[in-house]
Amino acid sequence: MTKNISRKNFLQKTGSALAVASIGFPSIYIPKSKSSDRNKIGVALVGLGSYSTNQLAPGLQRTDHCELRGIVTGSPHKIPVWQEEHGIPDANVYNYENMHEIADNDDIDVVYIVLPTGLHAKYSIVGAEAGKNVWCEKPFAMDVAECQAVIDACESNRVQLTIGYRMQHEPNTQEIIRYGKEQTYGEITGVRTSAGYSGGGHPIGDWRRNPDLGGGALYDMGVYPLNAARYATGMEPIAARGIQSSQRPDIYKFVDETTEFELEFPGGVFAKGETSFGKSVNYLEVEATGGWYKLQPFQSYTRVRGETSDGRELPADPGHQQARQMDNDALALKENKDPIVPGEDGLADIRIVEAIMESSERGGEWIQL
């Protein structure tokens, strides 16, 4: 059974967002000898949840141009584990209340915000105002105003901002971006792209069920196909529409479990897709006047592979995606170049997310962008 959900109602019922836990910790750790390479960019991970633990920290052990030097966490029990594993000294351990003091720490060049989405803007701004470059996970933030506030804070503090859209660093993805730019298969006529995973659903208390913290499939997974439709076509959509629903309202009562969407690009090009917490889908298909090409899966950590209408194979790249992404972002800092994914790219997706949510509230009508 499909049940339409309304974030607005939920926000009215719950009032304000959850506060971040913040606790002071004793300082007793003496790091094991780990020679810090001063030619590398020093990264502090902000939020030590699943993605930091399982992807980013291992990635930072493989990077050539950056390394893990600090942590910001509200969970004291994680501190000794991370200090031991990564040789992080006491001086580079922060909580959410004293994170601004990172301004005085020359070991740290970058704060990488890996918190629930509803906290991205707040802590990106704390980092920028401390004079640190900001790497912020996707989705950029809750709405366009939050995204713009982060962009402004980074500009006024003269620090670089990049969004953690790892796919734009992935070789096969870069190849199909090139096909679009060079019209290798002619002019693009349409795109189909979806991202979702299935399973038992997120447990009670998980922020992905909470609209205040950026829960729901559209924010969490939907930004992958939205970003893909934009990078594949190289165009910005002029209108969007969508329908948000929940097939398991006992779990996804206040956020979307599934969102179907359609984007209209200039020249009558349409992109169509869906995102879901209840359906395993993962593809990007592009049709052009002279053929087609696709990536499937298109947004996995590994195995991203593709094929084309003229029989080209795009085999999976064996590299570590997050290591490549962070090395590219570190090189942009070292060489004073623009990052591959600037803040404006993340903001453009959030503008579409807002339009799709508005469209769903209006029964799926087109919203001009």
Q: Residue numbers of the site for ligand NAD (CB under 6 A)?
A: 18, 20, 47-52, 74-75, 114-117, 119, 137-138, 164, 166, 207, 213, 220
Closer CB to ligand NAD, 143 or 264, in the complex: 143
Cα separation, 34 vs 87, in Å, equals 6
Closer CB to ligand NAD, 269 or 356, in the complex: 356
Report in angstroms how near the CB of residue 58 gets to ligand NAD at its nearest.
Answer: 13
By beta carbon distance, the residue nearest ligand NAD is: 49
Report in angstroms how near the CB of residue 166 gets to ligand NAD at its nearest.
Answer: 5
Closer CB to ligand NAD, 17 or 238, in the complex: 17
Report in angstroms how near the CB of residue 288 gets to ligand NAD at its nearest.
Answer: 28
Closer CB to ligand NAD, 1 or 19, in the complex: 19
Closer CB to ligand NAD, 136 or 269, in the complex: 136
Report in angstroms how near the CB of residue 20 gets to ligand NAD at its nearest.
Answer: 4
Q: Which residues pair with 245 in a beta bridge?
A: 258
Closer CB to ligand NAD, 239 or 316, in the complex: 316
> CA separation (Å) from 367 to 234, 302, 362?
20, 35, 9
Closer CB to ligand NAD, 94 or 179, in the complex: 94
Report in angstroms how near the CB of residue 213 gets to ligand NAD at its nearest.
Answer: 6
Report in angstroms how near the CB of residue 217 gets to ligand NAD at its nearest.
Answer: 12
Report in angstroms how near the CB of residue 75 gets to ligand NAD at its nearest.
Answer: 5
Is residue 237 within 8 A of residue 265, CB to CB? The reply is: yes
Closer CB to ligand NAD, 25 or 51, in the complex: 51
Instruction: Write a three-state SS string for the chain.
Output: CCECCCHHHHHHHHCCCCCCCCCCCCCCCCCCCCCCCCCCEEEEEECCCHHHHHHHHHHHCCCCCEEEEEEECCCCCHHHHHHHHHCCCHHHEECCCCHHHHHHCCCCCEEEECCCHHHHHHHHHHHHHCCCEEEECCCCCCCHHHHHHHHHHHHHCCCCEEECCHHHHCHHHHHHHHHHHHCCCCCEEEEEEEEECCCCCCCCCCHHHCHHHCCCHHHHHHHHHHHHHHHHHCCCCCEEEEEEEECCCCCCCCCCCEEEEEEEECCCEEEEEEEECCCCEEEEEEEECCEEEEECCCCCCCCCCEEECCCCEECCCCCCHHHHHHHHHHHHHHCCCCCCCEHHHHHHHHHHHHHHHHHHHCCCCCEEC
Cα separation, 120 vs 112, in Å, equals 10
Closer CB to ligand NAD, 33 or 50, in the complex: 50
Report in angstroms how near the CB of residue 51 gets to ligand NAD at its nearest.
Answer: 3
Report in angstroms how near the CB of residue 119 gets to ligand NAD at its nearest.
Answer: 6
